[in-house]
Amino acid sequence: MMLTIPDVLTVGQLRQCREALARAAWHDGRQTAGHVAIRAKANLQLAQDDPLVARLGALILERLGANPRFLAAALPLKVLPPRFNCYTGGGVYGDHIDNAVFSVPGTSHRVRSDLSATLFFCDPDEYDGGELVIRDTYGTQRVKLPAGHLALYPGTSLHQVTPVTRGARYAAFFWVQSLVRGDSQRATLLELDESIQALAAERPDSPLLERLTGVYHNLLRHWADT
């Protein structure tokens, strides 16, 4: 299931991020690709030890930590610190599936990539191409979101970024280890959570609220993998 998390960043935060990324020291993205992915990857990326990566990454994680839709959809247990890339001049990343497990730089911790995330810093009319094409059990989806919006999708998905033939596409990307490993179980919990919220808004005194909330937590207790 692919979900959109809108307005992760404010207009002011987007402007500051864009200005910083435009001045950043970019490197060949193939330096971080595995032996298979390196044949499909042609983009630019910031070094993981670049202070800008830590600064912008902390901002993104702070915003997501206060975003109800992200928390409800991802049920995050661990989040790999965001990384940053740029596609321009024909930059492309062909079909690939992300690594199953990532090491957190500078630590002994590891994050299982239950969910992949891409946060867009550019509006669609600023560049040609650069679509995130996701193929999974729900079919093929072509994603090109407004600046400040985030695409969240299963880490098991085959996906690519189509060539950017005009302008530049800046984005942050990272992975989430969820409390609930299975995509279908997370989708069920999200639908139940949204139904509870809708019922609470329409009928705040309904006796069903307590029962449905109990069902939600019992399912989460059954499926949670901590």
Q: Is 159 annotated as a binding residue?
A: yes
Structure confidence by residue, pLDDT tens digits, 123-140: 999 999 999 999 987 789
The predicted pLDDT at position 49 comes to: 94
The predicted pLDDT at position 33 comes to: 59
Q: How far apart are CA 64 and CA 5, in angstroms?
A: 9
Structure confidence by residue, pLDDT tens digits, 196-223: 999 999 999 999 999 999 999 999 999 9
Q: Is 35 annotated as a binding residue?
A: no
Q: Is 98 annotated as a binding residue?
A: yes
Q: How confident is the model at residue 29 (pLDDT cuts 50, 70, 90)?
A: confident
What is the pTM (predicted TM-score) of this model?
Answer: 0.93
23: helix, coil or strand? coil
Are 122 and 112 spatial neighbours (Cβ–Cβ below 8 Å)?
A: no
Q: Is 222 annotated as a binding residue?
A: no
Are 85 and 29 spatial neighbours (Cβ–Cβ below 8 Å)?
A: yes
The predicted pLDDT at position 87 comes to: 98
The predicted pLDDT at position 34 comes to: 58
Which tokens go with 167? 């302008």
Structure confidence by residue, pLDDT tens digits, 123-182: 999 999 999 999 987 789 999 999 999 999 999 999 999 999 999 999 999 999 999 999
Structural domains for the chain: 3-178 (2.60.120.620), 183-223 (4.10.860)
The predicted pLDDT at position 40 comes to: 79
3-state secondary structure 122-176: CCHHHCEECCEEEEECCEEEEECCCCCCEEEEECCCEEEECCEEECEEEEEEEEE
pLDDT at 1 over 90: no
What are the residues whose beta carbons fall under 8 Å from the beta carbon of 202, sequence distance 6 or more?
Answer: none
